[in-house]
Structure 1
Amino acid sequence: MTHPLRYLSVLTVLLSACASSPPSSETMVQARVARATQLAGDELKPLLGLCRPQPATRASGPSVDEGIRRLIAQAPPAPGQAFDNLYFVGSAWVSAWVLKTSQGLILIDALNNDEEAKTLIEGGMAKLGLDPRDIRYIVVTHGHGDHYGGASYLARRHGARIVASEEDWAMMAGTLEFASTVWPAPPQRDIAVRDGDKLVLGDTTLSYHLTPGHTLGTLSLVFDVRDGTRQHRALLWGGTAFNFGKDVPRLQAYHASTEKMRRVVVERNVDVMLSNHPGYDSTVAKLAELKRRAVGGAHPFVGGIGAVDRSLRIMGECSLAQRDRFGA
Protein backbone atom coordinates (compact mmCIF):
# COMPACT_ATOMS: atom_id res chain seq x y z
CA MET A 1 0.00 0.00 0.00
CA THR A 2 1.35 3.46 -0.98
CA HIS A 3 1.81 5.81 1.93
CA PRO A 4 -0.57 8.85 1.91
CA LEU A 5 2.40 11.21 2.26
CA ARG A 6 3.67 9.99 -1.11
CA TYR A 7 0.39 11.03 -2.75
CA LEU A 8 0.70 14.42 -1.07
CA SER A 9 4.26 14.79 -2.35
CA VAL A 10 3.27 13.94 -5.92
CA LEU A 11 0.34 16.38 -5.76
CA THR A 12 2.62 19.13 -4.48
CA VAL A 13 5.02 18.59 -7.39
CA LEU A 14 2.16 18.69 -9.92
CA LEU A 15 0.70 21.86 -8.42
CA SER A 16 4.11 23.53 -8.39
CA ALA A 17 4.62 22.63 -12.04
CA CYS A 18 1.24 24.13 -12.96
CA ALA A 19 1.96 27.28 -10.99
CA SER A 20 5.30 27.77 -12.74
CA SER A 21 3.95 27.14 -16.25
CA PRO A 22 4.13 30.28 -18.38
CA PRO A 23 0.80 31.91 -19.21
CA SER A 24 -0.52 31.55 -22.76
CA SER A 25 0.21 34.19 -25.36
CA GLU A 26 -3.44 35.25 -25.36
CA THR A 27 -3.40 35.70 -21.58
CA MET A 28 -0.30 37.85 -21.86
CA VAL A 29 -1.86 39.90 -24.65
CA GLN A 30 -4.98 40.57 -22.58
CA ALA A 31 -2.89 41.55 -19.54
CA ARG A 32 -0.76 43.97 -21.58
CA VAL A 33 -3.75 45.57 -23.27
CA ALA A 34 -5.44 45.94 -19.86
CA ARG A 35 -2.33 47.66 -18.48
CA ALA A 36 -2.14 49.98 -21.48
CA THR A 37 -5.83 50.83 -21.16
CA GLN A 38 -5.46 51.63 -17.48
CA LEU A 39 -2.44 53.83 -18.20
CA ALA A 40 -4.26 55.69 -20.96
CA GLY A 41 -7.34 56.75 -19.04
CA ASP A 42 -9.28 59.28 -21.13
CA GLU A 43 -6.35 61.60 -21.80
CA LEU A 44 -4.15 59.21 -23.80
CA LYS A 45 -6.78 57.03 -25.48
CA PRO A 46 -5.56 57.76 -29.03
CA LEU A 47 -2.44 55.68 -28.35
CA LEU A 48 -4.54 52.59 -27.64
CA GLY A 49 -4.96 52.08 -31.38
CA LEU A 50 -1.48 50.55 -31.19
CA CYS A 51 -2.87 47.69 -29.12
CA ARG A 52 -5.17 46.49 -31.91
CA PRO A 53 -4.04 43.32 -33.73
CA GLN A 54 -1.73 44.02 -36.66
CA PRO A 55 -1.28 41.87 -39.80
CA ALA A 56 1.62 39.46 -39.95
CA THR A 57 2.69 40.69 -43.39
CA ARG A 58 3.70 44.19 -44.38
CA ALA A 59 1.12 45.83 -46.61
CA SER A 60 2.22 46.63 -50.16
CA GLY A 61 0.91 47.25 -53.65
CA PRO A 62 -2.09 49.16 -55.03
CA SER A 63 -4.12 48.90 -51.82
CA VAL A 64 -1.39 50.79 -49.96
CA ASP A 65 -1.30 53.48 -52.64
CA GLU A 66 -5.05 53.91 -52.50
CA GLY A 67 -5.02 54.10 -48.70
CA ILE A 68 -2.33 56.76 -48.75
CA ARG A 69 -4.26 58.77 -51.35
CA ARG A 70 -7.33 58.72 -49.12
CA LEU A 71 -5.31 59.90 -46.13
CA ILE A 72 -3.69 62.71 -48.12
CA ALA A 73 -7.11 63.79 -49.44
CA GLN A 74 -8.44 64.58 -45.96
CA ALA A 75 -9.14 68.26 -45.36
CA PRO A 76 -6.09 69.72 -43.58
CA PRO A 77 -6.42 71.51 -40.24
CA ALA A 78 -5.42 75.13 -39.89
CA PRO A 79 -1.79 75.77 -38.97
CA GLY A 80 -1.24 76.79 -35.39
CA GLN A 81 1.21 77.91 -32.75
CA ALA A 82 1.70 75.41 -29.93
CA PHE A 83 4.38 77.33 -28.02
CA ASP A 84 6.19 80.64 -28.42
CA ASN A 85 8.85 78.84 -30.49
CA LEU A 86 6.96 75.84 -31.91
CA TYR A 87 4.42 75.79 -34.75
CA PHE A 88 2.28 73.12 -36.43
CA VAL A 89 2.07 73.18 -40.24
CA GLY A 90 0.92 69.62 -40.89
CA SER A 91 -1.95 67.76 -42.50
CA ALA A 92 -4.83 65.82 -40.97
CA TRP A 93 -2.70 62.67 -41.19
CA VAL A 94 0.92 63.75 -40.76
CA SER A 95 2.51 66.43 -38.61
CA ALA A 96 5.16 68.92 -39.61
CA TRP A 97 6.58 71.10 -36.85
CA VAL A 98 8.61 74.29 -37.09
CA LEU A 99 11.02 75.06 -34.24
CA LYS A 100 11.99 78.72 -34.18
CA THR A 101 15.49 79.69 -33.01
CA SER A 102 17.42 82.95 -32.84
CA GLN A 103 19.32 81.97 -36.02
CA GLY A 104 16.65 80.43 -38.20
CA LEU A 105 14.08 77.66 -38.33
CA ILE A 106 14.24 73.88 -37.92
CA LEU A 107 11.54 72.00 -39.81
CA ILE A 108 10.70 68.61 -38.36
CA ASP A 109 9.37 66.37 -41.17
CA ALA A 110 8.24 67.44 -44.63
CA LEU A 111 4.91 65.68 -45.30
CA ASN A 112 4.06 63.56 -48.37
CA ASN A 113 5.03 65.50 -51.47
CA ASP A 114 5.99 68.81 -53.06
CA GLU A 115 2.39 70.02 -53.20
CA GLU A 116 1.88 69.59 -49.46
CA ALA A 117 5.25 71.25 -48.86
CA LYS A 118 4.04 74.25 -50.85
CA THR A 119 0.48 74.55 -49.58
CA LEU A 120 0.69 73.28 -45.99
CA ILE A 121 4.27 73.96 -44.92
CA GLU A 122 5.15 77.12 -46.86
CA GLY A 123 1.54 78.32 -46.89
CA GLY A 124 1.03 77.52 -43.23
CA MET A 125 4.24 79.25 -42.25
CA ALA A 126 3.19 82.38 -44.12
CA LYS A 127 -0.12 82.43 -42.23
CA LEU A 128 1.80 82.16 -38.95
CA GLY A 129 4.22 84.96 -39.80
CA LEU A 130 7.17 82.66 -40.52
CA ASP A 131 9.41 82.92 -43.59
CA PRO A 132 10.24 79.57 -45.27
CA ARG A 133 13.49 81.14 -46.47
CA ASP A 134 14.63 80.97 -42.83
CA ILE A 135 14.53 77.14 -42.77
CA ARG A 136 18.07 76.02 -42.00
CA TYR A 137 17.52 72.30 -41.32
CA ILE A 138 14.89 69.73 -42.23
CA VAL A 139 14.94 66.83 -39.77
CA VAL A 140 13.40 63.65 -41.20
CA THR A 141 12.38 61.54 -38.23
CA HIS A 142 12.33 58.32 -40.25
CA GLY A 143 12.60 57.12 -43.82
CA HIS A 144 8.96 56.84 -44.88
CA GLY A 145 7.53 58.99 -47.65
CA ASP A 146 4.97 60.75 -45.48
CA HIS A 147 7.89 62.35 -43.63
CA TYR A 148 10.49 62.90 -46.35
CA GLY A 149 8.10 63.57 -49.28
CA GLY A 150 8.54 67.36 -49.47
CA ALA A 151 12.11 67.52 -48.14
CA SER A 152 13.94 67.67 -51.49
CA TYR A 153 11.71 70.48 -52.77
CA LEU A 154 12.15 72.56 -49.62
CA ALA A 155 15.91 71.98 -49.49
CA ARG A 156 16.34 73.08 -53.11
CA ARG A 157 14.11 76.09 -52.73
CA HIS A 158 15.49 77.42 -49.46
CA GLY A 159 19.01 76.00 -49.21
CA ALA A 160 18.19 73.93 -46.12
CA ARG A 161 20.18 70.89 -45.02
CA ILE A 162 18.39 67.56 -44.60
CA VAL A 163 19.07 65.47 -41.50
CA ALA A 164 18.29 61.79 -40.92
CA SER A 165 19.84 58.90 -39.04
CA GLU A 166 22.72 56.91 -40.51
CA GLU A 167 20.49 53.81 -40.55
CA ASP A 168 17.59 55.42 -42.39
CA TRP A 169 19.82 57.20 -44.91
CA ALA A 170 21.13 53.73 -45.78
CA MET A 171 17.58 52.41 -46.13
CA MET A 172 16.44 55.36 -48.24
CA ALA A 173 19.44 54.95 -50.55
CA GLY A 174 18.79 51.23 -50.92
CA THR A 175 15.55 49.25 -50.76
CA LEU A 176 12.70 51.16 -49.16
CA GLU A 177 11.07 48.96 -46.56
CA PHE A 178 7.76 50.79 -46.96
CA ALA A 179 7.27 52.15 -50.47
CA SER A 180 4.42 53.68 -52.43
CA THR A 181 4.09 55.09 -55.93
CA VAL A 182 2.27 58.03 -54.32
CA TRP A 183 5.50 59.27 -52.74
CA PRO A 184 8.45 60.81 -54.57
CA ALA A 185 11.95 59.38 -54.39
CA PRO A 186 13.74 59.94 -51.07
CA PRO A 187 16.09 62.92 -50.77
CA GLN A 188 19.77 62.53 -51.53
CA ARG A 189 21.92 61.76 -48.52
CA ASP A 190 22.97 64.86 -46.60
CA ILE A 191 23.65 65.06 -42.84
CA ALA A 192 23.70 61.72 -41.01
CA VAL A 193 23.37 61.70 -37.22
CA ARG A 194 23.78 59.07 -34.54
CA ASP A 195 22.29 58.49 -31.13
CA GLY A 196 23.17 61.31 -28.75
CA ASP A 197 24.18 63.83 -31.42
CA LYS A 198 22.94 67.41 -31.06
CA LEU A 199 21.86 70.19 -33.39
CA VAL A 200 22.71 73.62 -32.02
CA LEU A 201 21.19 76.59 -33.83
CA GLY A 202 21.32 79.96 -32.12
CA ASP A 203 19.64 79.75 -28.72
CA THR A 204 18.27 76.25 -29.31
CA THR A 205 19.71 72.76 -28.81
CA LEU A 206 17.92 69.74 -30.23
CA SER A 207 19.14 66.29 -29.22
CA TYR A 208 18.76 63.20 -31.40
CA HIS A 209 17.84 59.87 -29.81
CA LEU A 210 17.89 56.72 -31.91
CA THR A 211 14.67 54.81 -31.16
CA PRO A 212 14.56 51.80 -33.51
CA GLY A 213 11.23 50.09 -33.96
CA HIS A 214 9.03 51.83 -36.50
CA THR A 215 12.15 51.85 -38.68
CA LEU A 216 15.65 50.76 -37.74
CA GLY A 217 16.80 54.37 -37.71
CA THR A 218 13.86 56.25 -36.23
CA LEU A 219 14.94 59.48 -34.52
CA SER A 220 13.10 60.89 -31.52
CA LEU A 221 13.90 64.46 -30.61
CA VAL A 222 14.20 66.39 -27.35
CA PHE A 223 14.18 70.19 -27.26
CA ASP A 224 12.98 73.09 -25.13
CA VAL A 225 9.75 74.99 -25.77
CA ARG A 226 8.66 78.30 -24.27
CA ASP A 227 5.32 79.55 -22.97
CA GLY A 228 5.82 83.14 -21.93
CA THR A 229 8.20 83.09 -18.97
CA ARG A 230 7.81 79.33 -18.55
CA GLN A 231 10.13 76.86 -20.21
CA HIS A 232 9.23 73.24 -20.86
CA ARG A 233 11.01 70.30 -22.43
CA ALA A 234 9.42 68.33 -25.25
CA LEU A 235 9.93 64.83 -26.60
CA LEU A 236 8.81 64.27 -30.17
CA TRP A 237 8.42 60.51 -30.69
CA GLY A 238 9.76 59.75 -34.15
CA GLY A 239 7.78 56.71 -35.32
CA THR A 240 4.73 55.08 -33.82
CA ALA A 241 2.80 52.43 -35.76
CA PHE A 242 3.66 48.73 -36.14
CA ASN A 243 3.41 48.53 -39.93
CA PHE A 244 6.27 46.07 -40.47
CA GLY A 245 4.47 42.74 -40.11
CA LYS A 246 5.62 39.76 -38.06
CA ASP A 247 9.03 41.07 -37.05
CA VAL A 248 9.46 40.04 -33.43
CA PRO A 249 12.97 41.53 -33.02
CA ARG A 250 11.61 44.85 -34.30
CA LEU A 251 8.78 44.80 -31.77
CA GLN A 252 11.24 44.02 -28.99
CA ALA A 253 13.49 46.85 -30.17
CA TYR A 254 10.49 49.17 -30.12
CA HIS A 255 9.80 48.27 -26.49
CA ALA A 256 13.48 48.78 -25.61
CA SER A 257 13.29 52.23 -27.22
CA THR A 258 10.32 53.21 -25.07
CA GLU A 259 12.19 52.10 -21.95
CA LYS A 260 15.29 54.01 -23.03
CA MET A 261 13.30 57.20 -23.52
CA ARG A 262 11.51 56.75 -20.19
CA ARG A 263 14.93 57.15 -18.58
CA VAL A 264 15.64 60.25 -20.69
CA VAL A 265 12.30 61.74 -19.66
CA VAL A 266 13.22 61.48 -15.98
CA GLU A 267 16.82 62.60 -16.45
CA ARG A 268 15.88 65.65 -18.52
CA ASN A 269 12.51 66.54 -16.95
CA VAL A 270 10.53 66.16 -20.16
CA ASP A 271 6.95 67.33 -19.61
CA VAL A 272 5.61 67.65 -23.18
CA MET A 273 4.89 64.66 -25.48
CA LEU A 274 4.55 65.31 -29.20
CA SER A 275 3.98 63.08 -32.21
CA ASN A 276 4.62 63.36 -35.93
CA HIS A 277 1.05 62.17 -36.56
CA PRO A 278 -1.56 64.51 -35.04
CA GLY A 279 -3.97 61.72 -34.21
CA TYR A 280 -1.65 60.21 -31.61
CA ASP A 281 -1.15 63.35 -29.49
CA SER A 282 -4.44 65.15 -30.25
CA THR A 283 -2.55 68.06 -31.81
CA VAL A 284 -5.55 69.64 -33.54
CA ALA A 285 -7.79 69.47 -30.47
CA LYS A 286 -5.03 70.89 -28.27
CA LEU A 287 -4.41 73.79 -30.66
CA ALA A 288 -8.13 74.60 -30.54
CA GLU A 289 -8.09 74.38 -26.74
CA LEU A 290 -5.08 76.66 -26.64
CA LYS A 291 -7.07 79.38 -28.40
CA ARG A 292 -9.71 79.19 -25.64
CA ARG A 293 -7.15 79.13 -22.85
CA ALA A 294 -7.70 81.62 -20.06
CA VAL A 295 -4.85 83.86 -19.02
CA GLY A 296 -2.65 81.86 -16.67
CA GLY A 297 -4.55 78.67 -17.46
CA ALA A 298 -3.02 75.22 -17.96
CA HIS A 299 -1.28 74.64 -21.27
CA PRO A 300 -2.98 71.74 -23.12
CA PHE A 301 0.30 70.41 -24.52
CA VAL A 302 1.99 70.28 -21.10
CA GLY A 303 0.98 66.99 -19.53
CA GLY A 304 3.83 66.69 -17.05
CA ILE A 305 6.56 64.08 -16.68
CA GLY A 306 4.03 61.51 -15.52
CA ALA A 307 1.91 61.80 -18.65
CA VAL A 308 4.95 61.55 -20.91
CA ASP A 309 6.08 58.43 -19.06
CA ARG A 310 2.60 56.92 -19.34
CA SER A 311 2.60 57.53 -23.09
CA LEU A 312 5.85 55.62 -23.46
CA ARG A 313 4.60 52.81 -21.24
CA ILE A 314 1.42 52.49 -23.33
CA MET A 315 3.42 52.22 -26.54
CA GLY A 316 5.74 49.72 -24.91
CA GLU A 317 2.91 47.54 -23.62
CA CYS A 318 1.20 47.58 -27.01
CA SER A 319 4.42 46.56 -28.76
CA LEU A 320 4.77 43.57 -26.42
CA ALA A 321 1.10 42.71 -26.85
CA GLN A 322 1.65 42.54 -30.59
CA ARG A 323 4.77 40.43 -30.07
CA ASP A 324 2.79 38.04 -27.89
CA ARG A 325 0.06 37.78 -30.53
CA PHE A 326 2.73 36.42 -32.84
CA GLY A 327 3.45 33.77 -30.23
CA ALA A 328 6.90 34.94 -29.23
Structure 2
Amino acid sequence: MAGPVDPAELVYIFIDYSNVTHEGSRELNIANDHFNVDLNRLVLTVCNGRKSGGVFIAGSTPQTAPTPAKDELAWRRAEHHGFNVKTFPRNASNKEKKVDSRLTCDIMLTIRKNPGILVLVAGDSDYSVPLEEARKENWEIEIWFWNKGKSKHFSNFPYTSLNFHYKSFVYITGPKNRYTFEISSDIIKNWKWKNEPIMECYCALNLLCQFQWVNKTTAHLYFDNETHLKQARGWLFKKYPMLLKEQGRVGKSVKVLQDKKITEDIVDLPQQNTDDPLDDQYVFVDLTESIILK
Protein backbone atom coordinates (compact mmCIF):
# COMPACT_ATOMS: atom_id res chain seq x y z
CA MET A 1 0.00 0.00 0.00
CA ALA A 2 1.32 3.43 -0.97
CA GLY A 3 2.28 5.76 1.84
CA PRO A 4 0.88 9.25 2.43
CA VAL A 5 1.44 11.81 -0.31
CA ASP A 6 3.73 14.73 0.44
CA PRO A 7 1.50 17.88 0.46
CA ALA A 8 4.06 19.58 -1.77
CA GLU A 9 3.28 17.00 -4.47
CA LEU A 10 -0.50 17.48 -4.45
CA VAL A 11 -1.97 19.20 -7.51
CA TYR A 12 -4.84 21.67 -7.08
CA ILE A 13 -6.59 22.43 -10.37
CA PHE A 14 -8.69 25.51 -11.17
CA ILE A 15 -10.68 25.45 -14.42
CA ASP A 16 -12.54 28.35 -16.03
CA TYR A 17 -14.92 26.18 -18.05
CA SER A 18 -16.31 28.91 -20.31
CA ASN A 19 -12.82 30.22 -21.02
CA VAL A 20 -11.55 26.75 -21.91
CA THR A 21 -14.45 25.81 -24.19
CA HIS A 22 -14.84 29.18 -25.92
CA GLU A 23 -11.15 29.62 -26.68
CA GLY A 24 -10.76 25.94 -27.52
CA SER A 25 -13.50 25.99 -30.14
CA ARG A 26 -11.88 29.05 -31.74
CA GLU A 27 -8.37 27.62 -31.55
CA LEU A 28 -9.38 24.33 -33.18
CA ASN A 29 -11.91 25.95 -35.54
CA ILE A 30 -14.77 23.78 -34.32
CA ALA A 31 -18.30 25.15 -33.96
CA ASN A 32 -19.05 25.79 -30.30
CA ASP A 33 -22.28 23.77 -30.50
CA HIS A 34 -20.25 20.68 -31.41
CA PHE A 35 -17.19 21.33 -29.22
CA ASN A 36 -17.04 19.40 -25.93
CA VAL A 37 -14.54 19.03 -23.11
CA ASP A 38 -14.55 15.92 -20.95
CA LEU A 39 -13.57 17.49 -17.63
CA ASN A 40 -12.41 14.26 -16.02
CA ARG A 41 -10.03 13.54 -18.87
CA LEU A 42 -8.83 17.15 -18.80
CA VAL A 43 -8.02 16.74 -15.10
CA LEU A 44 -6.21 13.45 -15.76
CA THR A 45 -4.23 15.12 -18.54
CA VAL A 46 -3.18 18.00 -16.30
CA CYS A 47 -2.35 15.73 -13.36
CA ASN A 48 -0.17 13.59 -15.62
CA GLY A 49 0.05 10.83 -13.03
CA ARG A 50 0.28 13.17 -10.05
CA LYS A 51 -2.13 13.09 -7.11
CA SER A 52 -4.94 15.65 -7.12
CA GLY A 53 -5.60 17.65 -3.97
CA GLY A 54 -8.78 19.22 -5.34
CA VAL A 55 -10.47 20.37 -8.53
CA PHE A 56 -12.41 23.64 -8.76
CA ILE A 57 -14.52 24.49 -11.81
CA ALA A 58 -16.50 27.66 -12.52
CA GLY A 59 -18.77 28.33 -15.48
CA SER A 60 -21.67 30.46 -16.64
CA THR A 61 -25.22 29.88 -17.85
CA PRO A 62 -27.43 31.95 -20.18
CA GLN A 63 -29.71 34.35 -18.35
CA THR A 64 -32.79 33.83 -20.51
CA ALA A 65 -32.17 30.72 -22.65
CA PRO A 66 -31.88 27.16 -21.29
CA THR A 67 -28.40 25.94 -20.40
CA PRO A 68 -26.96 23.90 -23.31
CA ALA A 69 -27.39 20.21 -22.58
CA LYS A 70 -23.72 19.50 -23.31
CA ASP A 71 -22.61 21.96 -20.60
CA GLU A 72 -25.13 20.69 -18.07
CA LEU A 73 -23.98 17.12 -18.69
CA ALA A 74 -20.31 18.09 -18.35
CA TRP A 75 -20.92 19.80 -15.00
CA ARG A 76 -23.06 17.02 -13.56
CA ARG A 77 -20.50 14.40 -14.56
CA ALA A 78 -17.75 16.54 -13.00
CA GLU A 79 -19.71 16.73 -9.75
CA HIS A 80 -20.06 12.95 -9.69
CA HIS A 81 -16.27 12.74 -9.96
CA GLY A 82 -16.06 14.79 -6.77
CA PHE A 83 -15.03 18.06 -8.40
CA ASN A 84 -16.22 21.39 -6.98
CA VAL A 85 -18.47 22.98 -9.63
CA LYS A 86 -20.03 26.45 -9.43
CA THR A 87 -22.07 28.12 -12.18
CA PHE A 88 -23.42 31.65 -12.44
CA PRO A 89 -25.98 33.28 -14.78
CA ARG A 90 -24.66 35.79 -17.30
CA ASN A 91 -25.92 39.36 -17.28
CA ALA A 92 -28.43 40.93 -19.69
CA SER A 93 -25.62 41.53 -22.20
CA ASN A 94 -24.69 37.82 -22.06
CA LYS A 95 -21.44 38.65 -20.29
CA GLU A 96 -20.04 36.43 -17.56
CA LYS A 97 -20.37 37.55 -13.97
CA LYS A 98 -18.72 36.10 -10.85
CA VAL A 99 -16.82 33.27 -12.60
CA ASP A 100 -13.39 34.90 -12.23
CA SER A 101 -14.25 36.02 -8.70
CA ARG A 102 -15.32 32.51 -7.68
CA LEU A 103 -12.13 30.88 -8.92
CA THR A 104 -10.04 33.66 -7.39
CA CYS A 105 -11.69 33.01 -4.01
CA ASP A 106 -11.06 29.28 -4.39
CA ILE A 107 -7.39 29.95 -5.12
CA MET A 108 -6.98 32.30 -2.17
CA LEU A 109 -8.62 29.83 0.21
CA THR A 110 -6.52 26.96 -1.12
CA ILE A 111 -3.14 28.67 -0.76
CA ARG A 112 -3.72 28.93 3.00
CA LYS A 113 -2.84 25.23 3.10
CA ASN A 114 0.63 23.76 2.97
CA PRO A 115 2.23 24.75 -0.35
CA GLY A 116 1.69 22.38 -3.23
CA ILE A 117 1.20 22.66 -6.99
CA LEU A 118 -1.41 25.09 -8.29
CA VAL A 119 -2.58 24.55 -11.87
CA LEU A 120 -4.71 27.17 -13.60
CA VAL A 121 -6.59 26.08 -16.72
CA ALA A 122 -7.55 29.52 -17.99
CA GLY A 123 -6.02 32.38 -19.93
CA ASP A 124 -7.67 35.46 -18.42
CA SER A 125 -5.28 38.07 -17.02
CA ASP A 126 -7.57 38.61 -14.01
CA TYR A 127 -6.07 35.48 -12.48
CA SER A 128 -2.55 36.91 -12.40
CA VAL A 129 -3.10 38.59 -9.01
CA PRO A 130 -4.06 35.44 -7.03
CA LEU A 131 -1.28 33.53 -8.79
CA GLU A 132 1.27 36.09 -7.62
CA GLU A 133 -0.09 35.69 -4.09
CA ALA A 134 0.26 31.92 -4.38
CA ARG A 135 3.86 32.31 -5.50
CA LYS A 136 4.58 34.44 -2.41
CA GLU A 137 3.26 31.53 -0.32
CA ASN A 138 5.78 29.20 -2.01
CA TRP A 139 3.28 27.43 -4.24
CA GLU A 140 4.48 25.96 -7.52
CA ILE A 141 2.44 27.47 -10.37
CA GLU A 142 1.51 25.99 -13.76
CA ILE A 143 -0.61 27.47 -16.55
CA TRP A 144 -2.35 25.12 -18.99
CA PHE A 145 -4.23 26.82 -21.81
CA TRP A 146 -4.67 27.39 -25.53
CA ASN A 147 -1.89 29.24 -27.33
CA LYS A 148 -3.86 32.20 -28.65
CA GLY A 149 -5.98 32.73 -25.56
CA LYS A 150 -3.20 32.98 -22.97
CA SER A 151 -2.68 36.41 -21.42
CA LYS A 152 0.76 38.00 -21.69
CA HIS A 153 0.55 38.54 -17.92
CA PHE A 154 1.28 34.83 -17.50
CA SER A 155 4.68 35.01 -19.18
CA ASN A 156 6.48 34.59 -15.84
CA PHE A 157 4.76 31.30 -15.04
CA PRO A 158 5.52 27.81 -16.41
CA TYR A 159 3.17 27.17 -19.32
CA THR A 160 1.89 24.04 -21.04
CA SER A 161 -0.11 24.38 -24.25
CA LEU A 162 -3.41 22.53 -24.50
CA ASN A 163 -2.84 22.54 -28.26
CA PHE A 164 -0.53 19.55 -27.79
CA HIS A 165 -2.90 17.59 -25.55
CA TYR A 166 -6.45 18.30 -26.72
CA LYS A 167 -7.04 14.89 -28.29
CA SER A 168 -7.02 13.39 -24.80
CA PHE A 169 -10.02 15.42 -23.57
CA VAL A 170 -11.82 17.16 -26.49
CA TYR A 171 -14.59 15.47 -28.45
CA ILE A 172 -16.93 16.54 -31.23
CA THR A 173 -20.63 15.72 -31.38
CA GLY A 174 -23.15 16.36 -34.11
CA PRO A 175 -21.53 16.22 -37.55
CA LYS A 176 -22.09 12.85 -39.17
CA ASN A 177 -19.50 11.06 -41.24
CA ARG A 178 -19.67 8.44 -43.94
CA TYR A 179 -17.63 6.02 -41.84
CA THR A 180 -19.68 5.18 -38.77
CA PHE A 181 -19.07 2.58 -36.10
CA GLU A 182 -22.18 1.85 -34.02
CA ILE A 183 -22.00 0.62 -30.44
CA SER A 184 -25.29 -0.35 -28.90
CA SER A 185 -26.38 -1.64 -25.47
CA ASP A 186 -25.68 -0.82 -21.83
CA ILE A 187 -21.96 -0.19 -22.23
CA ILE A 188 -21.30 0.75 -18.67
CA LYS A 189 -23.22 0.59 -15.40
CA ASN A 190 -22.14 3.95 -14.02
CA TRP A 191 -23.16 6.77 -16.38
CA LYS A 192 -20.35 9.10 -15.32
CA TRP A 193 -17.87 6.82 -17.17
CA LYS A 194 -20.05 6.57 -20.25
CA ASN A 195 -17.66 8.38 -22.62
CA GLU A 196 -14.46 6.85 -21.28
CA PRO A 197 -14.00 3.70 -23.40
CA ILE A 198 -14.84 5.63 -26.56
CA MET A 199 -12.43 8.47 -25.83
CA GLU A 200 -9.69 6.11 -24.73
CA CYS A 201 -9.91 4.37 -28.10
CA TYR A 202 -9.62 7.60 -30.11
CA CYS A 203 -6.79 8.82 -27.89
CA ALA A 204 -4.85 5.58 -28.31
CA LEU A 205 -5.11 6.00 -32.09
CA ASN A 206 -4.15 9.70 -31.88
CA LEU A 207 -7.47 10.73 -33.45
CA LEU A 208 -9.77 13.59 -32.53
CA CYS A 209 -12.78 11.99 -30.87
CA GLN A 210 -16.01 12.28 -32.89
CA PHE A 211 -19.14 10.53 -31.69
CA GLN A 212 -22.79 11.01 -30.89
CA TRP A 213 -25.05 9.32 -28.36
CA VAL A 214 -28.23 8.75 -30.37
CA ASN A 215 -30.04 7.47 -27.29
CA LYS A 216 -29.17 6.23 -23.80
CA THR A 217 -27.71 2.96 -25.05
CA THR A 218 -26.47 3.61 -28.60
CA ALA A 219 -23.50 5.65 -29.80
CA HIS A 220 -22.24 6.35 -33.31
CA LEU A 221 -18.46 6.71 -33.62
CA TYR A 222 -17.36 8.74 -36.65
CA PHE A 223 -14.15 8.41 -38.66
CA ASP A 224 -12.63 10.23 -41.62
CA ASN A 225 -11.77 7.06 -43.50
CA GLU A 226 -12.21 3.30 -43.46
CA THR A 227 -8.66 2.69 -42.25
CA HIS A 228 -9.28 4.62 -39.03
CA LEU A 229 -12.58 2.84 -38.55
CA LYS A 230 -10.90 -0.56 -38.87
CA GLN A 231 -8.11 0.50 -36.51
CA ALA A 232 -10.64 1.54 -33.87
CA ARG A 233 -12.55 -1.70 -34.21
CA GLY A 234 -9.33 -3.68 -33.97
CA TRP A 235 -8.13 -1.71 -30.95
CA LEU A 236 -11.41 -2.28 -29.11
CA PHE A 237 -11.25 -5.97 -29.95
CA LYS A 238 -7.74 -6.26 -28.51
CA LYS A 239 -8.28 -4.07 -25.44
CA TYR A 240 -11.86 -5.01 -24.57
CA PRO A 241 -12.88 -8.16 -26.46
CA MET A 242 -16.07 -8.36 -24.39
CA LEU A 243 -17.28 -5.21 -26.15
CA LEU A 244 -17.69 -6.73 -29.60
CA LYS A 245 -20.36 -9.17 -30.64
CA GLU A 246 -21.44 -9.45 -34.28
CA GLN A 247 -25.09 -8.72 -34.99
CA GLY A 248 -25.01 -10.37 -38.40
CA ARG A 249 -27.50 -8.00 -39.99
CA VAL A 250 -27.22 -6.44 -43.43
CA GLY A 251 -29.51 -3.82 -44.92
CA LYS A 252 -29.52 -1.73 -48.09
CA SER A 253 -27.59 1.11 -46.45
CA VAL A 254 -25.76 -0.97 -43.85
CA LYS A 255 -22.84 -3.27 -44.45
CA VAL A 256 -21.50 -5.31 -41.55
CA LEU A 257 -17.81 -6.02 -42.01
CA GLN A 258 -17.27 -9.69 -41.35
CA ASP A 259 -14.57 -10.87 -38.96
CA LYS A 260 -11.68 -12.42 -40.84
CA LYS A 261 -8.61 -11.78 -38.82
CA ILE A 262 -9.04 -8.71 -36.65
CA THR A 263 -5.32 -8.21 -36.21
CA GLU A 264 -5.01 -7.63 -39.95
CA ASP A 265 -7.08 -4.47 -39.52
CA ILE A 266 -4.59 -2.98 -37.08
CA VAL A 267 -1.98 -0.86 -38.81
CA ASP A 268 0.78 0.64 -36.67
CA LEU A 269 -1.37 1.16 -33.59
CA PRO A 270 0.18 3.39 -30.90
CA GLN A 271 1.10 1.53 -27.74
CA GLN A 272 -1.41 2.05 -24.95
CA ASN A 273 -0.04 2.83 -21.51
CA THR A 274 -0.92 -0.13 -19.29
CA ASP A 275 -0.76 2.16 -16.27
CA ASP A 276 -3.68 4.23 -17.56
CA PRO A 277 -5.64 5.21 -14.41
CA LEU A 278 -8.88 4.67 -16.31
CA ASP A 279 -8.22 1.03 -17.17
CA ASP A 280 -9.76 -0.39 -14.02
CA GLN A 281 -12.72 1.95 -13.91
CA TYR A 282 -14.81 0.32 -16.62
CA VAL A 283 -17.70 -2.03 -15.92
CA PHE A 284 -18.84 -3.43 -19.26
CA VAL A 285 -21.94 -5.48 -19.83
CA ASP A 286 -23.49 -7.07 -22.92
CA LEU A 287 -22.61 -5.03 -25.99
CA THR A 288 -23.39 -5.40 -29.67
CA GLU A 289 -21.77 -3.58 -32.53
CA SER A 290 -22.02 -2.99 -36.22
CA ILE A 291 -20.06 -0.97 -38.71
CA ILE A 292 -22.05 1.22 -41.04
CA LEU A 293 -20.62 2.27 -44.38
CA LYS A 294 -23.06 4.54 -46.14
> Which one scores higher on RCO, CA 8 angstroms, separation ≥ 6?
1
Where on the TM-score scale, by shorter chain, does this alignment land: which range?
A: under 0.3
TM (norm. structure 1) is: 0.26
Higher Cα Rg: structure 1 or 2? 1
Q: Which has more helix, going by share of residues?
A: 1
